[in-house]
Structure 1
Amino acid sequence: MVRLRHSMLKSGLFAIAAVVAASGPAMAKKSVASGPVIVMSETFRTAAQAADNAIKAGDANTAQAHISGLMPVSDFEAYAAAALRFELAVLKQNFQAQRVALTDMFKTASVPKKDAPRLRYVAGYLSYVVGNYDDALAQLDYAKTLGYDATDATMLRADIYLRKNKAREARPFVQDALARQRASGQPVPAAWYDRAISMAYGAGDWAEVGALYRERLGRYGSAGEWRSALANYLSAPGMDTQVQLDLYRLQAANGAMASERDYQAYAQLAEKAGNHAEAKAIIEAGRSAGKLTATQAATASLMKSVTPKAAKEIAAIPAAAKKAAAAKDGSAALSVADGYFSLSQFPQAAEHYRLALSKGGVDQGKANTRLGIALARSGDLTGAKTALAQVTGNWANVAGFWSVWVDQQSRKTAFQPVGVSPAS
């Protein structure tokens, strides 16, 4: 939800305190730059000044007493009285009273033209807060005709449509607000990403879900953020199991394995891919982290199955690598590369992914994605970024997530202190 600070609510108001202090005695008339002509009696000015002082001191009761005694007889006095009621309502955090006070201000001809657009926006916000959504939209439309069409107004429109259970109508406004915020060079608030992701998720637009999560992770990349993003993205229907496997690998690389389900799902995917040693290693890691127990049925059974297969898998790789080197296409080399990758032998994996790509006859997206990951895990972040940037098609999203991780590792490397030996 769009929220307004106390200072923002008051910033669109005419400076009542300055006006009442500047006005002269007995029905003074004074023209203020960009504002209305002041017509205020000495009696009204004194009471208004006292009310304003009480509001600034946080004394709502005294302010209320002074405001209740105001008897405006001119247009400007009516405006000033309404503005003071507004400020008192802000002090009391009474949104309904704030909205009523604004209506009273609008009934006068003394609202400064330069403040009118923002005040109409504030009126829209207050109508939204009190649940009058149709009036909120009407006030935003009015504010726009007066020239106020800032990003906060766009997000407020989205919130209003969401409150009206019209997510489809809200989504374009959220997308527009994000585009404006990016164009301004200002950071996009995490809550805005969450809203846009929720809408894309609801619309089944998984390409946008992935893109938004990647952008969000580029700014908010804690282990918890990674876990939430990947867990939600992994729920996309029809996702290739090999893609899922690489996303779980990314979750592990971020230290974001947080539950029994995470370790179990990762281990099962690895076993399904024929990576028995990797499945064994994941179960062992889950037990060490206290997320899995030796008596947990599913992983205990899996551990019993993969342990003997893991030893055979490791022993078979050298011979498979020799055959892959002599093969006509890259299929065998890709299989060997996947084997080395699953054993976390990333330099050897990168070598064989390159061999597979040079021989051809393989899924370019998969090979380049895993080449990029292997290079990144080997420490070649520049090479990783280049490989991942070449990925298109079904593997583009997983490559994109890993590319965000590479960027984060690059920033960490850039900020590592350089050790300098003391002078002898």
Structure 2
Amino acid sequence: MTTKSAALLAAFLFTAAAPLPALAVQKPAATEQKGAAISKEAMPAIKALQDAANANNITQLPALSQAALAAAKTPTDRFFAYQLLFKPALAAKNDPMLLGAVEGAIGTNYLQGKELANLHLVAAKLRANANATDQAAAHIDQAAALDPNNAEIQAVVAAVRERQKRPADAIAALQKVAALDAAAGKPADPKIARQIYAIAVNNNLPQAGDLALAQLKTSPTPENWRIAIKLAEQRGNFQAADKVDLFRLQRATNSFQGEQDYYPYVDALITRGLPGEAKAVLSEAFAAGKLDKTKAPWKDLYSSAVTRDAADKSAPNGDVYLGRGDYAKAAAAYRAQVAKGGAGADTANLRLGIALARSGDKAGATAALNAVTGSKAGIAKMWLLYLGTQA
């Protein structure tokens, strides 16, 4: 690939970060159930705070809250001085007030177990929304320790791990969400699979390639084809000439997304003496509005392809026929090469398979592609997957 081609081949990440679940604060158990009561000394101030909270007098709450906390004598007093702020702060979408109340309530040590886990969960969401990732992580770790089998908590663990640049841990948390949902008899949530896929691809994790192929089997969209092909290109250690056959798969799946995709293909075709195919690819891109034929380098590349194609007087071979879309003649030429055997048999079988696949001969294409071995087998596998997605 040329330097210019490398510069145009941009990253192909797509955004699918795990979203934070909606904010909610569960009401803790009543004090009577805990064998505790508000102290007589604090009762008047807490009652005044309660009245203002019930009336949603949001402007009065800070001062009344401070007065209630100043009058508090016990952890129960302090907890309810904070807890009375939950509902009005949530209704007013006053995140700073809600965060202060929730973290204050946590600090009273009044709640334990799953109730305390819920407060840490809410605090984690609020801290994450404020881009305070370290504090969010501290809260969600506490929540997960207190209530490890809570799917909502694990979903937030995944979101926070992504922000911490810990993609493998984010995937582990999402897999736990899926397992907990399955154990609860819930149907599989396709969003979870997409999140796992996105994290693996965006962070180039080892499982990304397998996940991309699995995604293609259920959803062979142009976007998913592009991701799978680019992963195969990056990880396959293919020779430059072999990559042309991956680019041909992008063409077949209509998965080009702009200059960074088209340039290495067209550049490789012209460099390798296939101007007819380069002309055809560019013509398709111009017609589809994916490239501007009046701008460099496309104007110059197209002119070069047209000129070279018109001047080419050499005898056509399988590659030339394939590039021109004459799949019958291409197949005949490649079959002759296969019959000769030798070092070029794998390339001939691969391109025979491509020609037959493009002509609609699935059985013949499958047989040819399955015969490919060695370094080109990975590309053949991608074309076999393409055959499997065709009606």
- TM-score of the superposed pair, with normalisation by structure 1: 0.62
- Unaligned ranges ≥5, structure 2: 1-16, 183-187
1:120–1:358 CA distance, 2 compared to 1 (3 A): farther
1:60–1:264 CA distance, 2 compared to 1 (3 A): same
Is 2:150 the counterpart of 1:152?
no
CA drift of 1:245 comes to 1.2
**After superposition, where does 1:277-288 map in structure 2 within 5 Å?**
277-288=276-287
Does the aligned pair in 2 maintain the 1:276–1:313 contact within 8 Å?
no
CA drift of 1:186 comes to 3.5
Does the aligned pair in 2 maintain the 1:209–1:233 contact within 8 Å?
no
CA drift of 1:226 comes to 4.7
Does the aligned pair in 1 maintain the 2:124–2:139 contact within 8 Å?
yes
Letter in 2 for 1:161: Q
1: distance between equivalents of 2:341 and 2:174? 41
**After superposition, where does 1:262-341 map in structure 2 within 5 Å?**
262-289=261-288, 291=291, 292-293=293-294, 296-309=299-312, 312-314=314-316, 336=318, 338-341=319-322
Is 2:13 the counterpart of 1:4?
no
SS at match of 1:39: coil
SS at match of 2:148: coil
> Which residue is equivalent to 2:323?
342
2: distance between equivalents of 1:340 and 1:257? 22
**Once the two structures are aligned, what percentage of the paired residues are identical?**
25
Is 2:202 the counterpart of 1:198?
yes
Partner of residue 359 from structure 2, selected from 359, 378, 382:
378
CA drift of 1:304 comes to 0.4
SS at match of 1:115: helix
> Which residue is equivalent to 2:27?
14
Does the aligned pair in 1 maintain the 2:328–2:355 contact within 8 Å?
yes
1: distance between equivalents of 2:86 and 2:366? 55
1:123-169 Cα shifts (integer Å, max 9, x gaps)? 3444444455444444344334324265425424523433xxxxxxx
CA drift of 1:5 comes to 3.7
- Unaligned ranges ≥5, structure 1: 20-28, 163-169, 318-335, 414-424
1: distance between equivalents of 2:177 and 2:341? 43
> Which residue is equivalent to 2:142?
142
- TM-score of the superposed pair, with normalisation by structure 2: 0.67
1:66-88 Cα shifts (integer Å, max 9, x gaps)? 86776766644543442342444
1: distance between equivalents of 2:284 and 2:132? 54
Number of residue equivalences: 354
2: distance between equivalents of 1:305 and 1:134? 60
1:227–1:347 CA distance, 2 compared to 1 (3 A): same
> Which residue is equivalent to 1:241?
240
Is 2:234 the counterpart of 1:253?
no
1: distance between equivalents of 2:177 and 2:355? 35
Does the aligned pair in 2 maintain the 1:37–1:76 contact within 8 Å?
no
Is 2:175 the counterpart of 1:173?
no
2: distance between equivalents of 1:176 and 1:365? 40
1: distance between equivalents of 2:351 and 2:118? 52
2: distance between equivalents of 1:3 and 1:364? 50
2: distance between equivalents of 1:217 and 1:142? 38
**After superposition, where does 1:351-362 map in structure 2 within 5 Å?**
360-362=341-343
Letter in 2 for 1:297: D
Is 2:375 the counterpart of 1:394?
yes
Does the aligned pair in 2 maintain the 1:95–1:129 contact within 8 Å?
no
1:103–1:255 CA distance, 2 compared to 1 (3 A): same
2: distance between equivalents of 1:374 and 1:4? 48
> Which residue is equivalent to 2:6?
none
Does the aligned pair in 2 maintain the 1:154–1:174 contact within 8 Å?
yes
1: distance between equivalents of 2:80 and 2:383? 59
Q: Indicate the larger mover: 69-78 or 283-292.
A: 69-78
SS at match of 1:114: helix
Letter in 2 for 1:4: L
